[in-house]
Amino acid sequence: MFNFNIGVLGHVDSGKTTLSRCISTTASTAAFDKNPQSQERGITLDLGFSCFDLPAPQSVASVTSNIQITLVDCPGHASLIRTIIAGAQIIDAMILVVDVTKGIQTQTAECLVIGEILCSHLLVVLNKVDLLPLDKRSAMTEKMTKRIRMALQSTKFSDVKIVPVAAKPGGGVENNSLDTEPVGIQDLLVAIQEMIYVPTRSNAGPFVFAVDHCFGIRGQGTIMTGTVLQGAVAINDSIEIPSLAISKKVKSMQMFRKPVEKAIQGDRVGICVTQFDPKLLERGFACTPGFIKSAYALLVRVVKIPYYKLAIETKAKFHISVGNETVMSKIVLFGSEVECPDDSFDYNREYKHQEELMDVKAIEASENCKLRAQYAVLHLERRVPVLPNSFIIGSKLDMDAHTNMCRLAFKGTVLEIFSVKEYAETQLPNIKVFKNKTKEGIVERLNNDSEVIVRNLFNKDTNLQPFIGLKVRLSTGEEGVIDGHFGTSGKIKVFIAKGLLPDTKNTLQAQSSGKKKGKNAGEAMQSLTLEDRQNLVIRVKLDFKRYLFSVGKKMIQ
């Protein structure tokens, strides 16, 4: 027998928990809203787990004769989207529960987006069909089925199977239905059976365990329940809780109340350890000692989620969901016009700073944009444990939960974990992100045949030292270099090694002569056309690259 994890997602009050209860035979931690707050508020507040067995379909019969289906019941309330994201990262397939009387609602759509990102197998359940008038039930169900297919047409789930059910006929509505038994459950179980495949499972590599609940049992110890994300664990193994820097030995293990000696990737298991206060860990990781690092910042390859309609700008703050954590982060965006591997980062290349994250379709449609890969440095507001190569989702969870807009903004893969507090000085400078900068000034006067005085290129408070020696170009064609300050008002000296052109020299001398002649010269200038006056102004242009992450903001040309 192997374990197959199915996430049950949908809008609040669509009947996810009732459906899970209806088909499950064994309940685990927090299943079916055992949480007192859940019962009080009438909604799911946390991940709930339950299971049942199914005969293996023909497609996997060569591997096993029986499948244990673990249902991960995710909250539907908008404010709990971070819990939904955590749940979606441990599933092999997804059931999307839709209230047949309401269709796709805001959180249904967000669950679909999460499914598109993290899951390849989907089954849609149209729940509460008992609330439809009996004489119109078939036609109304068919109409909603067509609406959902239309909504999914542009997604990877365009050919999804849709099953109508009533998990609790008449639930909450007196005398609404004569049905007492659940409707369509056998069809649902057949559809689940057809969806099953053999997920990639391995006991190789370091052990990583996503803990979703932690509680104590008198006389036994502390139980951590969760899902094995990679590797394997056995009784007497040492495991670490990286967020607390504590290591413990595995005393015993159970899978849905059955004792086991070992658990591998994909298994849902309860791990018992001793002398550990369960209040210290609500949700997080346990792993092979030393494997998971805590991150102050992350380097991530990112892609904009097309359903997010607002701009994603550098220096903006987003909620970053990674593993079981959701943390606020400031983002810095940059990209490459060269094809790059998805799972690695080339520190020898230069990358261009971006003000905004581009949509993939916009890049493809643009003749000017040649971006091939987009990246972000995520400056996290607090340190969190991060698994190497983790998947992340960036979202705006502080948006109005009742808005019709998708709050999920971008997705990505972690390429580098910055685990040193001084990462900005020690690690970020290795990433060569540049900004093309341009400054313009005006030649105020001639100092000598090889030197001019320039104003408006810098203000008086600018530290000129990093700019000394940088090349500038005059609008008349000469090239020079910045030589130093001239006075204290922000003016500078520019040295032209090959000397000024005769025409440039004459123009500057004429300007100087005009200033000395005073009123008559001013009247003469006023008599000139705007174009002629502009031609007399000699502009100075400074182009350079500034490296964003270099200590001291290094500049080159």
CATH of residue 502's domain is 2.40.10.190
Starting from the edge strand earliest in sequence, which strands make up the sheet with 26-27, in order? 26-27, 48-55, 66-73, 2-10, 93-99, 122-127, 161-164
**Percent of the chain at pLDDT above 70?**
88
* Burial (CB count within 10 angstroms: exposed 0-12, middle 13-18, buried 19+), residue 179: middle
Q: Looking at 153-162, 182-191, 337-346, which range is the least confident one?
A: 337-346
**Do both 59 and 162 map to the same domain?**
yes
Q: Is 8 strand, coil or helix?
A: strand
pLDDT-derived band at 199 (thresholds 50, 70, 90) equals confident
**Do both 245 and 182 map to the same domain?**
no
Residue 93 token pair? 């397939």
Q: What is the pLDDT of residue 36?
A: 40
Contact 140, 131 (CB under 8 A): no
Q: What is the pLDDT of residue 437?
A: 94
**Do both 231 and 306 map to the same domain?**
no
**Is residue 200 situated within a structural domain?**
no
pTM for the whole structure: 0.81
pLDDT at residue 521 is higher than 70: no
Beta strands 293-304 and 284-287, pairing class: unpaired
pLDDT at residue 474 is higher than 60: yes
* Burial (CB count within 10 angstroms: exposed 0-12, middle 13-18, buried 19+), residue 371: middle
Could you give the CA distance from residue 86 to residue 116 in angstroms, rounded to a whole number? 15
Kindly calculate the radius of gyration of the chain based on its CA atoms and give it in whole angstroms.
Answer: 32
**Is residue 70 situated within a structural domain?**
yes
**Residues facing residue 241 across a β-bridge:** 246
**Is residue 157 situated within a structural domain?**
yes
**Which of 378, 408, 430 finishes a domain?**
430
Dihedral, 485, 491, 492, 498 alpha carbons, nearest 10: -150
Q: Mean of the pLDDT values across residues 402-423?
A: 92
| Segment of 80-89, 128-137, 320-329 carrying the highest mean pLDDT | 128-137
pLDDT-derived band at 39 (thresholds 50, 70, 90) equals very low
pLDDT at residue 409 is higher than 60: yes
Q: What is the pLDDT of residue 63?
A: 86
**Do both 397 and 304 map to the same domain?**
yes
Residue 540 token pair? 């100075």
**Do both 24 and 6 map to the same domain?**
yes
Q: CA separation (Å) from 524 to 82, 507, 519, 521? A: 71, 15, 9, 5
**Do both 246 and 374 map to the same domain?**
no
Q: Mean of the pLDDT values across residues 476-486?
A: 97
Element holding 532 (H helix, E strand): helix 530-536
Count up the domains in the chain and report the number: 4
| Domain range for 505 | 435-556
**Which of 139, 169, 195 finishes a domain?**
195
**Do both 56 and 167 map to the same domain?**
yes
**Do both 115 and 160 map to the same domain?**
yes
pLDDT at residue 177 is higher than 60: no
**Do both 423 and 447 map to the same domain?**
no
**Do both 442 and 549 map to the same domain?**
yes
**Which of 404, 430, 456 finishes a domain?**
430
**Upper half-sphere CA count for residue 437 (Cβ side, 13 Å):** 19
Contact 248, 239 (CB under 8 A): yes
* Burial (CB count within 10 angstroms: exposed 0-12, middle 13-18, buried 19+), residue 519: exposed
**Is residue 92 situated within a structural domain?**
yes
CATH classification at residue 51:
3.40.50.300
Element holding 194 (H helix, E strand): helix 185-195
Could you give the CA distance from residue 265 to residue 271 in angstroms, rounded to a whole number? 14
**Is residue 32 situated within a structural domain?**
yes
In sequence order, which ranges of 303-385 are alpha helices (DSSP H)? 360-365
**Is residue 448 situated within a structural domain?**
yes
Residue 489 token pair? 């008002």
CATH classification at residue 390:
2.40.30.10
The DSSP line for 431-497 is SEEEEEEEEEEEEEEEEETTEEEEESSS-TTS--GGGTT-EEEETTS-EEEEEEE-SSSS-EEEE-T
**Do both 38 and 158 map to the same domain?**
yes
**Is residue 202 situated within a structural domain?**
no
Return the residue matching tokens 């899951």: 119
Could you give the CA distance from residue 275 to residue 445 in angstroms, rounded to a whole number? 80
Q: What is the pLDDT of residue 27?
A: 79
**Do both 469 and 360 map to the same domain?**
no
